[in-house]
Amino acid sequence: MENNKRKLLTVVTEAALEATLIKDLDRLNAHGYTISDVRGKGSRGVRHADWDLNASIRVEVVCDAATAETIATHLQTHYYDNYAMIMFTSDIFVVRPEKF
Amino acid sequence: MENNKRKLLTVVTEAALEATLIKDLDRLNAHGYTISDVRGKGSRGVRHADWDLNASIRVEVVCDAATAETIATHLQTHYYDNYAMIMFTSDIFVVRPEKF
Amino acid sequence: MENNKRKLLTVVTEAALEATLIKDLDRLNAHGYTISDVRGKGSRGVRHADWDLNASIRVEVVCDAATAETIATHLQTHYYDNYAMIMFTSDIFVVRPEKF
Amino acid sequence: MIDPVILFFVLGAVAGLLRSELRLPAAIYEFVTIVLLLAIGLKGGVELARQPFGALAPQLLAVVAMGLLLPLIAFPVLRYLGRLPRADAASIAAHYGSVSVGTFAVAVAYLGSRQIDFEEYMPVLLVALEVPAILVGIVLARGLSRQTQWKSVGHEVFLGKGIVLLLGGLLIGWIAGPDGLASIEPLFVDLFKGFLALFLLEMGLITAAQVGGLRRHGPFLVIFGIAMPLFSALVGTGLGLSLGLSVGGITILATLAASASYIAVPAAMRISVPEANPTLSLAAALGITFPFNVLLGIPIYHALAVWADAFLKG
Amino acid sequence: MIDPVILFFVLGAVAGLLRSELRLPAAIYEFVTIVLLLAIGLKGGVELARQPFGALAPQLLAVVAMGLLLPLIAFPVLRYLGRLPRADAASIAAHYGSVSVGTFAVAVAYLGSRQIDFEEYMPVLLVALEVPAILVGIVLARGLSRQTQWKSVGHEVFLGKGIVLLLGGLLIGWIAGPDGLASIEPLFVDLFKGFLALFLLEMGLITAAQVGGLRRHGPFLVIFGIAMPLFSALVGTGLGLSLGLSVGGITILATLAASASYIAVPAAMRISVPEANPTLSLAAALGITFPFNVLLGIPIYHALAVWADAFLKG
Amino acid sequence: MIDPVILFFVLGAVAGLLRSELRLPAAIYEFVTIVLLLAIGLKGGVELARQPFGALAPQLLAVVAMGLLLPLIAFPVLRYLGRLPRADAASIAAHYGSVSVGTFAVAVAYLGSRQIDFEEYMPVLLVALEVPAILVGIVLARGLSRQTQWKSVGHEVFLGKGIVLLLGGLLIGWIAGPDGLASIEPLFVDLFKGFLALFLLEMGLITAAQVGGLRRHGPFLVIFGIAMPLFSALVGTGLGLSLGLSVGGITILATLAASASYIAVPAAMRISVPEANPTLSLAAALGITFPFNVLLGIPIYHALAVWADAFLKG
Ligand SMILES: Nc1ncnc2c1ncn2[C@@H]1O[C@H](COP(=O)(O)O)[C@@H](O)[C@H]1O
Ligand SMILES: Nc1ncnc2c1ncn2[C@@H]1O[C@H](COP(=O)(O)O)[C@@H](O)[C@H]1O
Ligand SMILES: Nc1ncnc2c1ncn2[C@@H]1O[C@H](COP(=O)(O)O)[C@@H](O)[C@H]1O
Ligand code: NA
Ligand code: NA
Ligand code: NA
């Protein structure tokens, strides 16, 4: 059962980054991603999605630990300083591990 | 504290399946579910929700390990071949475990 | 690597509580939160978001174990009896732990 | 001749009962509601501009008194005849003491298509009737307890979407006057009945979804949901007569009295009296009273107004 | 003179191909669709009220027969000429046997701006044509297997948004009649072409997104997506002639035959024949046939109708 | 006489400051924006069809030059007087060099309700003014660095929603001409001011939300947010005079110069100059300059145009 263990990488950030992140994920070998619209608050203040620039997204990627590490490092280096962004990983068990 | 351990089963799939899945979940003894609208990309290509057939949902079910197993197996058997779908479980700790 | 372990507290409840919960979270020292619109079913019946009073939200808070405990207890005491609400925590690993 | 907007309500209700997948997106329902609320306010405001505001004071006071009275009558009925828990009885009483903007709009359309005039300041009375019953409901549930956070209740009640748009529309109409509004009439006047049709389509769908709640909570709610508006309409008719309103005005006031809130009050009760079960009040207000008023009540209240007016004059 | 609504389609397609970020929110696309469906139904219903319903029976039967026939012709072509898997051939055949409401609306706008009359009960034929091909498609994919859950298929098909709104509109128009509808005309008549323009803008964007699917699935689909509507239009023209329709009516019937569904059928196939690849049918129906019909097909079918009508009479 | 659309802005701002729960759904705000952008484009396009396009070339060049010049003037003021970091100064300069479509629409409504004509090709100048300042802003922030991904900047800038809809509308209006557009006028002409009212209601709410940003970033932004548009309006007036525009045209050009972008530029800066703090530029552009222009600026610019025109002729 251990070979179906993967990482779920979750990123909450500005909607303005969506297109850029999608390109990054493709390049960094994520096999897929899931995006949803969210709102929230963090160190950069309230982002209540009342209009475009104030909207946030949650991006989730299921992948192995190494890919999660690569992506997290890339995002941290490129976007953490200038964008509202948080990131975390958790352990999950996938069905059909060959997909991820 | 161990008796409040449960599983969170997460399914990302086509919005067209929503009504069908709800019926399945009721039958398979899920005590509840939470659904949200998402978009994404996977092995079956980009699903960017610009219209009905291209929309995706995330279905989450909190339940015990056995129920999660049953549901996952059922979905895998019935829908994995013909629908865009991924599925994974994670460990969670619930408040008021008697509900799940 | 252990010092970047945190808790993700997830609450699914009625949209009518959003403003109240945000005030509670601020007071209980959550450094941030993320909210998304969801629909679902539980012990209090189907909530399919077709109109305001029937809408649900998912609130997620990344924080340390003690804060998660405090928030969970507060919500359980104040809202569990009278509102549709479920709550659970899971273990996550955060990037930039000093933020949470 | 049946008004087509009523047929849209029936279409929605039938589609809902047959479990069709038809659904108006939440954003569109909200859009339609916003335009209707603004349109009602604007129209009332234009009329207000034509007459001294002070002349309205007695009407306003009388109507607020009615808004305080009706929930006080409903409460003991619900509590002792219906054997409902205190919080539920208080909450339902508040719903029936307040008003439904959708029902008001249907009454306006009903009179409009029969070319029956009414006092155009009616939207002001609509606004005045929204709030008092909420306060009565909270006091009935809690007593005059210190615990109630009146400040946040006030915020919730007076700054809710409905009041802000109605009042805002009234003020804009009042300031801009009929000429000023000409340029925005295509949206707020010409489209009014089309938007009302879409609104009622969705209301039909929502109403159909309340049937489950009704089935669980028994026949008392069904009877209450029809008897209470009939009684309130009598009160409204009497008040309209004694205020010297026209037949149209009496009809509207009776409809306002008879209607039960399903926007402002449920939201306020959910926060202020959370132990009240919202399924009960919505099943009654939306599942019974709204369709009853829209399909049968308004013609009845109109007939009543005609009769009362003739009786008084004869 | 090119109709501006067509230019909105072109704008959407070009913006989509250039990967512009332009997008109509999903709720707005739904809103526009709902208004168009209701408007088409209402207009048809008003006309139905003017004539005995029974007189329509032969037309209805003939048109349903056409809806059963067309997928039966398309299926072997797709299966043997196109070498497509059985499920895919059946699903695509169902798409082409059914109809596209958007294409119908463009044809109505086309005739309208040329002041060409047509039998106003055409929306009834539109409704009648939506369903039969779906049933044929399921049987072609599955055989008359017991496993097919016909009850839930029926629910899906007859209670889908499209049918409910078209039929609902027809009934409301029929009951309310032209005078009754006057008050909602600003929304459902005056705004019809503006909403059609927005609808086609989004259709252009969606069409552009299908190009990827087409590139992957080769030239056969492109040829089929043009040849099949041309053939179906011939069938529709022939049927229109033999039913004695006017030139406008023949044009509409040919357009209905030629159009391929992209709302009702894809949704039904996804549930009933899930092993069919939806990318294939949508690439053909949306990527090829919809733009072909809208840009070239309708003028061709109109010319054909003029010619056929003259030929017959001459 | 105050235009009612301005009152909607005030209503939104007051509701926002009082923390009312009023909110236009995001999809509706987008819908309203799309219709306004298309409507402005269509109207300009129809007028373009009436005159040789070449005749516009000098105006276009002059206006692009102004779009390059204004941010170059604003930058040193922000950098040295305001002591802002380089990226912030560059970003804010870009906002003020570009234009606000909402402000343009209010100016059009202002002149319209006073029956003052203006050169109808103004929407072309609007489009021409959107982009240059963005490029200047990026260069000011980065220098002419190789690192800047000009290709993706260009994509972002030229294929953003605003430009595509304005240009698309222009082209459709130009091709279809006034007769062709008659059928879609109920949506794009008759509803224009109603939609503008809803748009300004939401703008009021958004503006109110910027007040926090202002409080944090001090009085310099407030002064800049009023002084800069006044200065730019002088430049725009001068340019309008020297191009021989009518009083209405000068008013519009001054308004364009004075307006600060809050759609296209913020989006482009967020991607191209991410280290610039968007709170600063939005607090200034939305929190100060937009309300200033809408409430006071436009009448001032109009008075200025009248005076300048009289002065020149006298
Ligand atoms: N402690 C937290 N828990 C949950 N979500 C958070 C937390 N902190 C930040 N977020 C989310 O991440 C976004 C960006 O965070 P920040 O960069 O800290 O402003 C916020 O708008 C929230 O949606
Ligand atoms: N590796 C992944 N990480 C996150 N989400 C994924 C991943 N793969 C697929 N998905 C989601 O699951 C949906 C169906 O996946 P698929 O069946 O692989 O096309 C996609 O549209 C995504 O929303
Ligand atoms: N077992 C469950 N799994 C996932 N979500 C649930 C579950 N039970 C309840 N929920 C969600 O929590 C909301 C409130 O639950 P309840 O208070 O049980 O009615 C529901 O409307 C669902 O969205
Ligand atoms: Na009442
Ligand atoms: Na067809
Ligand atoms: Na400017």
Q: How many CB pairs under 8 A join A and B?
A: 56
Interface test with C, best of D270, D275, D277, D282 (most C CBs within 10 A): D270
Chain segment D95-118, per-residue pLDDT in tens: 999 999 999 999 999 999 999 999
Let me know if residue F314 belongs to a domain: no
C-beta separation of D25 from E31 below 8 A: yes
* N- to C-terminal Cα separation, chain B: 15
Question: Min CA distance, E169 vs chain D (Å)?
Answer: 9
Q: Does E265 touch chain B (CB under 8 A)?
A: no
pLDDT of the residue at A2: 54
Is the confidence at residue B1, as pLDDT, over 50?
Answer: no
Nearest CA in chain A to F152: A20
Nearest to D155 by CA among D139, D134, D172, D137: D134
Contact A92 B87 (CB under 8 A): no
Chain segment C58-91, per-residue pLDDT in tens: 999 999 999 999 999 999 999 999 999 999 999 9
> How many residues does the structure list for chain D?
314
Contact A86 C62 (CB under 8 A): yes
* Full set of structural domains in chain A with CATH: 2-94 (3.30.70.120)
C-alpha F244/C-alpha F250 separation (Å) is 9
Q: Is the CB of residue A47 below 6 angstroms from any atom belonging to ligand 1? A: yes
Is the confidence at residue D72, as pLDDT, over 90?
Answer: yes
Higher pLDDT, F49 or D238: D238
C-alpha D135/C-alpha A51 separation (Å) is 35
Chain segment E280-291, per-residue pLDDT in tens: 999 999 999 999
Q: Does D148 touch chain C (CB under 8 A)?
A: no
Let me know if residue D238 belongs to a domain: yes
Let me know if residue E314 belongs to a domain: no
Q: Does A86 touch chain C (CB under 8 A)?
A: yes
Q: Does F263 touch chain A (CB under 8 A)?
A: yes
Ligand 2 binding pocket, CB closer than 6 Å = A 30-34, 60-63, 100; B 12, 40-44, 47, 56, 84-86
Mean pLDDT for F86-100 is: 97
Q: Does D23 touch chain C (CB under 8 A)?
A: yes
Higher pLDDT, E144 or E41: E41
Virtual CA dihedral for D29, D33, D34, D39, nearest 10 degrees?
140
Q: Is the CB of residue C83 below 6 angstroms from any atom belonging to ligand 1? A: no
pLDDT of the residue at F271: 87
Contact C86 B93 (CB under 8 A): no
> Residues of chain D with pLDDT > 70: what percent?
98
Confidence of residue F1 (pLDDT cuts 50, 70, 90): low
**CA E245 to each of CA E121, E242, E253, E254, F200: distance values in angstroms, whole numbers, following the listed order:** 11, 8, 9, 11, 50
The total domain count for chain E is 1
Let me know if residue F232 belongs to a domain: yes
ipTM given for this complex: 0.94
pLDDT of the residue at F210: 86
Q: How many CB pairs under 8 A join B and C?
A: 56
What's chain F's average pLDDT? 92
Helices (H), chain B: 18-27, 65-79
pLDDT of the residue at F213: 77
Ligand 1 centroid from CA A86, angstroms:
6
Nearest to D275 by CA among C80, C85, C82, C78: C82
Choosing from A33, A37, A89, A95 the residue with most ligand 2 atoms within 8 A of its CB, the one to mutate for a pocket test is A33
Chain segment F256-300, per-residue pLDDT in tens: 999 999 888 998 899 889 999 998 999 999 999 999 999 999 999
Nearest CA in chain E to F155: E20
Query: Which ligand is closest in space to the CA of residue A80?
Result: 1
Let me know if residue D143 belongs to a domain: yes
Is the confidence at residue A33, as pLDDT, over 70?
Answer: yes
| CATH number, domain containing residue E39 | 1.20.1530.20
Q: Is the CB of residue C25 below 6 angstroms from any atom belonging to ligand 1? A: no
Nearest CA in chain B to A92: B90
Question: Min CA distance, B4 vs chain C (Å)?
Answer: 9
Confidence of residue F146 (pLDDT cuts 50, 70, 90): low
What's chain E's average pLDDT? 92
Give D179's contacts in chain F (Cβ within 8 Å): 1
Cβ within 8 Å of residue F286, ≥6 positions away: F203, F206, F207, F210, F262
Ranking B11-20, B30-39, D264-273 by mean pLDDT, the lowest is: D264-273
C-alpha D196/C-alpha D200 separation (Å) is 6
Let me know if residue D314 belongs to a domain: no
Higher pLDDT, E272 or A7: A7
Ligand 3 binding pocket, CB closer than 6 Å = B 30-34, 60-63, 100; C 12, 40-44, 47, 56, 84-86
pLDDT of the residue at E288: 95
Query: With touching defined as 3+ CB pairs under 8 A, do chains E and B touch?
Result: yes
Let me know if residue F154 belongs to a domain: yes
Is the confidence at residue F38, as pLDDT, over 80?
Answer: yes
Let me know if residue D55 belongs to a domain: yes
Coil/strand/helix, residue E1: coil
C-alpha D233/C-alpha D292 separation (Å) is 13
User: Containing domain of residue F72, as a range?
Assistant: 4-309
pLDDT of the residue at D1: 64
Q: Is the CB of residue A75 below 6 angstroms from any atom belonging to ligand 1? A: no
Nearest CA in chain B to C40: B34
